[in-house]
């Protein structure tokens, strides 16, 4: 049986995932396998899965979105501000997500219409959105004056935390988009050869702005859910979130040069990041030491991708 | 056929516009706040922006050559902490600079190795080294700034003032490094090679330029300058703080782009980047003088960066169109 590159990639990272889980189990046998810890891993991974579903598509079109952390923080703070001002909880969430959508749409439009490098535009939006979050929360957190039902979106229903449900639903939607829609094919086409895609009549501006808009929506939604989960709107939330999303997507076999990648691979990548973070937390590594590990993982993941692509040409 | 009017190149015209903008900024802030246009404040701006200025020259060359270095913030922090640690371990505070610079060359090599040898885009490669070096800096000192008395001797750099205690040494350091980079750009092959590699890397390889070696040089220069910037921050603060590099890549990048460096490579100048640094610096300083919150400054700088990229891109699109039209007219004239 011959495997495709994507198949081999998925098998490899599944193997890595199992190895990491076994290592975690061996290190802390009783703690790692406890239901509280597993639910903890899944809830914290859910943020990455939600946003990285969009980031994967962005990477497939050959672009990069560094703004998701900033947009998430902005939406989380705006959600808190709206709710505090007396807007009904549901409407505040929608408004906050709309703001995130606007950010994503604007960055996508500028990138595609003017043919500019995505990282610099999204970096600018990261700082703009992050700045708005800081202004909104006065550089700190908003906890006083929030309505009682602010935690509604992040509560536990029938023993399952809602963030996990959101992650699964969004994952399924994006699996559908990736496998069954023309839109996804257009994304792949743009990522593999922008010029050819344009010449074959694909509206590159429309597709790229839509992809960025979707990512903006998802990032904003993540921020809203986090605010709901903790019942606090924190301006400093989601630091380094864009790195986590990119690492998850790249671990899942998404080519950083565009044109290849799967949402399914991304979910395993996100779980690897989640479990790795969990193990490092259990070992007592500080968040800054974890960054060193993440930097190394990012490079290794890209090298793994490139090696598999070279070996398997299908 | 001669063109009418002054025949200045695009980069010179751009620099003139930027200088005019600086002038406008200064007039505006002087009107709004009398304390702005004082020697003390101006020298303060110079002192605060030594790191930006010395990194900007190297960063401009890196970007012109078609790469990017996001790791400067992390490298700055790491160099400061390593320097602090070396001092605490008893190394002479001047000798300790040498190993830190070696560290800079090493990080430049790592950047080049990941991006060229492993074939990973420079953005990703330097994103990884940024994460790793910033994390390493915080790990080394357990997130606590090193402010032992052993690191204090270097603060003399910041405190020294010449010409009757008016002009700080910082001005001369800035001018020196700007001059060095202008020399490297205009009088050595570094500048020309950067433009040709950034314009078309394959063509550069075929015309016999050792692209890998040039990339190593550009990345190392950038990391070494980041290390020097880190040491300068130690001199300014009197302590090795692992957080000094936060947002550095953003402000240096913004300055370069403001100064007309094409983010896609192949276009730009060191002088433009330096002017860009001071344009941003005066803007920030003016806002501080007007007591505008730090958070607003972040948003304003983000918008300025966005505007600069847009204007640059529209400008080069316009120039390309005009060139096309001229060629067309010539062809029509010949026929």
B118 touches chain A (CB under 8 A): yes
What is the pLDDT, as a whole number, of residue A1? 54
Taking the CA of residue B321 and the nearest CA in chain A, the distance in Å comes to 14
> Lowest mean pLDDT: which of A23-27, A206-210, A218-222, B156-160?
B156-160
Asked if B266 contacts B66 with a C-beta cutoff of 8 angstroms, the reply is yes
A292 to B136: CB separation less than 8 angstroms, yes or no: yes
As given in the structure block, the two tokens for residue A90 are 């549901």
> Lowest mean pLDDT: which of A223-227, B133-137, B306-310?
B306-310
Nearest 5°: the CA angle B151, B156, B162 is 170
Q: Is the pLDDT of residue B257 over 70?
A: yes
A298 to B129: CB separation less than 8 angstroms, yes or no: no
| A283 occurs within a structural domain | no
| A35 occurs within a structural domain | no
Q: How far apart are CA A309 and CA B67, in angstroms?
A: 24
Domain hosting residue A150, numbered range = 49-242+254-262
* Highest mean pLDDT of the ranges A16-30, A256-270, B59-73: B59-73
Total structural domains within chain A: 1
pLDDT: which is higher, B105 or A136:
B105
| A193 occurs within a structural domain | yes
Q: How many CB pairs lie under 8 A apart between chains A and B?
A: 127
Q: Length of chain A, please?
A: 314
pLDDT above 70 coverage of chain A, percent: 98
Total structural domains within chain B: 1
Mean pLDDT of B131-154: 84
B287 touches chain A (CB under 8 A): no
B135 to A296: CB separation less than 8 angstroms, yes or no: no
SS (H, E, C) chain A: CCCCHHHHHHHHHHHHHHHHHHHHHHHCHHHHCCHHHHHHHHHHHHHHHHHHHHHHHHHHCCCCCCCHHHHHHHHHHHHHHHHHCCCCHHHHHHHHHHHHHHHHHHHHHHHHHCCCCHHHHHHHHHHHHHHHHHHHCCCCEECCCCCHHHHHHHCEECCEEHHHHHHHHHHHHHHHHHHHCHHHHHHHHHHHCHHHHHHCCCCHHHHHHHHHHHHHHHHHHHHHHHHHHHCCEECCCCCCHHHHHHHHHHHCCCCCCCCCCCHHHHHHHHHHHHHHHHHHHHCCCCHHHHHHHHHHHHHHHHHHHHHHHHHCCC
pTM score over 0.90: no
Asked if A269 contacts A248 with a C-beta cutoff of 8 angstroms, the reply is yes
Mean pLDDT of chain A: 85
Mean pLDDT of A136-159: 77
Alpha helices in chain B (DSSP H): 10-32, 39-48, 50-64, 72-88, 97-112, 122-140, 156-159, 169-187, 189-199, 201-206, 211-237, 248-258, 270-289, 294-334
Which DSSP string do the residues of B142-193 spell out, in sequence order? Answer: TT--B--GGGGGGGHHHH-EETTTTEEHHHHHHHHHHHHHHHHHHHSHHHHH
Binned at pLDDT 50, 70 and 90, residue B109 comes out as very high
What is the pLDDT, as a whole number, of residue B335? 62
**ipTM tops the 0.85 cut:** no
B128 to A295: CB separation less than 8 angstroms, yes or no: yes
> Lowest mean pLDDT: which of A123-137, A264-278, B247-261, B287-301?
B287-301
| A230 occurs within a structural domain | yes
Mean pLDDT of B90-97: 84
Q: How far apart are CA A129 and CA A74, in angstroms?
A: 6
CA distances from A37 to A25, A29, A274, B33, B68 (A): 12, 12, 11, 57, 40
Q: Is the pLDDT of residue A285 over 90?
A: no
Q: Is the pLDDT of residue B3 over 50?
A: no
B120 to A131: CB separation less than 8 angstroms, yes or no: no
Binned at pLDDT 50, 70 and 90, residue A276 comes out as confident
What is the pLDDT, as a whole number, of residue B288? 83
Name which of B313, B299, B214, B305 is nearest B264 in CA terms: B313
B134 touches chain A (CB under 8 A): yes
Mean pLDDT of B46-68: 91
In the DSSP assignment, the letter for residue B49 is T
Name which of A67, A51, A76 is nearest A128 in CA terms: A67
The per-residue pLDDT for range B124-137, each reduced to its tens digit, is 889 889 988 988 98
What is the pLDDT, as a whole number, of residue B166? 76
In the DSSP assignment, the letter for residue B238 is S
| B302 occurs within a structural domain | no
A291 touches chain B (CB under 8 A): yes
Mean pLDDT of chain B: 85
Domain hosting residue B102, numbered range = 51-279
Q: Is the pLDDT of residue B101 over 80?
A: yes
Q: How far apart are CA A267 and CA A273, in angstroms?
A: 10
What is the pLDDT, as a whole number, of residue A213? 93
Binned at pLDDT 50, 70 and 90, residue B294 comes out as confident
Burial B165-204 (b: 16+ CB within 10 A, else e): eeebbbbebbeebbeebbebbeeeebbebbbbbbbebeeb
> Lowest mean pLDDT: which of A145-149, A215-219, B21-25, B289-293?
A145-149
Mean pLDDT of B198-226: 90
Q: Is the pLDDT of residue A233 over 90?
A: no
To the nearest 10 degrees (0 to 180), the angle between helices A35-60 and A204-230 is 160
Q: Is the pLDDT of residue B78 over 90?
A: yes
pLDDT: which is higher, A59 or A161:
A59
Q: Is the pLDDT of residue A56 over 60?
A: yes
CA distances from B42 to B35, B113, B333 (A): 10, 41, 54
What is the pLDDT, as a whole number, of residue A314? 58
| A68 occurs within a structural domain | yes
Q: How far apart are CA B303 and CA B220, in angstroms?
A: 30
What is the pLDDT, as a whole number, of residue A278? 86
Handedness of CA A122, A124, A126, A132 (dihedral sign): negative
What is the pLDDT, as a whole number, of residue B4? 47
Mean pLDDT of A228-245: 81
| A268 occurs within a structural domain | no
| B7 occurs within a structural domain | no
Name which of B116, B50, B108, B80 is nearest B277 in CA terms: B50
Mean pLDDT of A28-38: 79
Residues of B in contact with A286 (CB under 8 A): 138-139, 142-143
Q: How far apart are CA B177 and CA B182, in angstroms?
A: 8
Q: Is the pLDDT of residue A194 over 90?
A: no
What is the pLDDT, as a whole number, of residue B52? 92
Name which of A199, A172, A174, A164 is nearest A60 in CA terms: A174
As given in the structure block, the two tokens for residue A62 are 């050959």
Binned at pLDDT 50, 70 and 90, residue A313 comes out as low
| A304 occurs within a structural domain | no
Q: Is the pLDDT of residue B320 over 90?
A: no
pLDDT above 90 coverage of chain A, percent: 17
Q: How far apart are CA B313 and CA B317, in angstroms?
A: 6
| A90 occurs within a structural domain | yes
Q: How far apart are CA B325 and CA B307, in angstroms?
A: 27
Q: Length of chain B, please?
A: 335
Binned at pLDDT 50, 70 and 90, residue B300 comes out as confident
What is the pLDDT, as a whole number, of residue A261? 84
Q: Is the pLDDT of residue B35 over 50?
A: yes
| B8 occurs within a structural domain | no
Mean pLDDT of B29-48: 84
B75 touches chain A (CB under 8 A): no
Binned at pLDDT 50, 70 and 90, residue B259 comes out as confident
pLDDT: which is higher, A313 or B320:
B320
B310 touches chain A (CB under 8 A): yes
Q: Is the pLDDT of residue A215 over 50?
A: yes
């Amino acid at each position: 049986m011959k495997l495709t590159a994507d198949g081999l990639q998925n098998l490899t990272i599944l193997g890595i995932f199992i190895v990491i889980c076994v290592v975690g189990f061996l290190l802390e046998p009783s703690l790692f396998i406890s239901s509280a810890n597993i639910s903890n891993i899944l809830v914290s991974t859910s943020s990455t899965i939600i946003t990285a579903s969009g980031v994967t598509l962005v990477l497939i079109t050959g672009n990069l979105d560094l703004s998701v952390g900033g947009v998430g923080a902005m939406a989380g703070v705006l959600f808190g501000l709206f709710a505090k001002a007396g807007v009904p909880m549901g409407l505040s969430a929608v408004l906050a997500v709309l703001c995130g959508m606007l950010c994503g749409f604007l960055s996508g439009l500028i990138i595609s219409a003017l043919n500019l490098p995505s990282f610099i535009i999204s970096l600018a939006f990261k700082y703009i959105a992050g700045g708005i979050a800081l202004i909104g929360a006065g550089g700190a957190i908003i906890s006083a004056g929030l309505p009682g039902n602010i935690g509604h979106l992040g509560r536990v229903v029938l023993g399952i935390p809602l963030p996990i449900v959101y992650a699964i639903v969004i994952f399924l939607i994006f699996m559908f988009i990736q496998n069954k829609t023309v839109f996804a094919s257009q994304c792949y086409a743009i990522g593999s050869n922008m010029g050819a895609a344009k010449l074959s009549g694909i509206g590159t501006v429309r597709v790229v702005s839509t992809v960025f808009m979707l990512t903006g929506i998802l990032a904003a939604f993540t921020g809203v859910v986090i605010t709901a989960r903790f019942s606090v709107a924190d301006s400093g939330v989601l630091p380094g979130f864009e790195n986590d999303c990119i690492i998850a997507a790249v671990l899942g076999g998404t080519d950083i040069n565009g044109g290849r990648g799967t949402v399914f691979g991304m979910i395993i990548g996100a779980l690897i990041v989640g479990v790795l973070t969990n193990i490092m937390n259990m070992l007592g590594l500080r968040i800054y030491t974890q960054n060193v590990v993440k930097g190394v993982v990012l490079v290794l993941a890209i090298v793994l991708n490139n090696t598999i692509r070279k070996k398997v040409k299908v | 056929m001669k063109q009418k009017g002054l025949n200045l190149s695009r980069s010179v015209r751009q620099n003139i516009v930027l200088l005019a903008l600086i002038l406008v900024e200064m007039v505006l802030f002087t009107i709004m706040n009398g304390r702005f246009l004082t020697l003390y404040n101006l020298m303060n701006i110079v002192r605060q922006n030594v790191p930006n200025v010395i990194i900007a020259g190297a960063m401009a060359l890196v970007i012109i050559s078609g790469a990017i270095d996001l790791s400067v913030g992390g490298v700055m922090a790491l160099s400061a902490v390593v320097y602090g640690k070396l001092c605490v371990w008893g190394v002479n505070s001047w000798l300790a600079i040498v190993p830190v610079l070696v560290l800079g060359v090493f990080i430049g090599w790592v950047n080049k190795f990941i991006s060229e040898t492993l074939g990973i885009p420079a953005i990703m490669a330097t994103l990884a080294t940024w994460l790793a070096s910033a994390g390493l800096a915080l790990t080394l000192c357990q997130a606590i700034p090193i402010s032992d008395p052993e690191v204090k001797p270097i603060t003399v750099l910041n405190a020294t003032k010449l010409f009757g205690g008016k002009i700080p040494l910082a001005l001369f350091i800035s001018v020196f490094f700007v001059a060095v980079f202008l020399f490297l750009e205009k009088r050595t092959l570094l500048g020309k090679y950067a433009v040709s590699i950034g314009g078309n890397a394959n063509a550069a390889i075929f015309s016999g330029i050792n692209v890998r070696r040039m990339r190593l040089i550009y990345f190392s220069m950038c990391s070494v300058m980041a290390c020097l910037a880190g040491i300068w921050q130690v001199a300014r603060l009197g302590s090795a703080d692992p957080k000094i590099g936060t947002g550095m890549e953003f402000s240096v990048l913004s300055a370069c782009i403001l100064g007309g460096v094409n983010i896609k490579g192949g276009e730009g100048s060191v002088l433009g980047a330096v002017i860009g640094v001071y344009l941003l610096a005066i803007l920030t300083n003016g806002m501080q003088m007007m007591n505008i919150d730090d958070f607003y400054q972040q948003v304003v700088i983000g918008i300025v960066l966005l505007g600069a990229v847009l204007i640059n891109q529209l400008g080069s699109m316009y120039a390309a169109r005009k060139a096309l039209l001229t060629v067309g007219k010539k062809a029509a004239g010949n026929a």
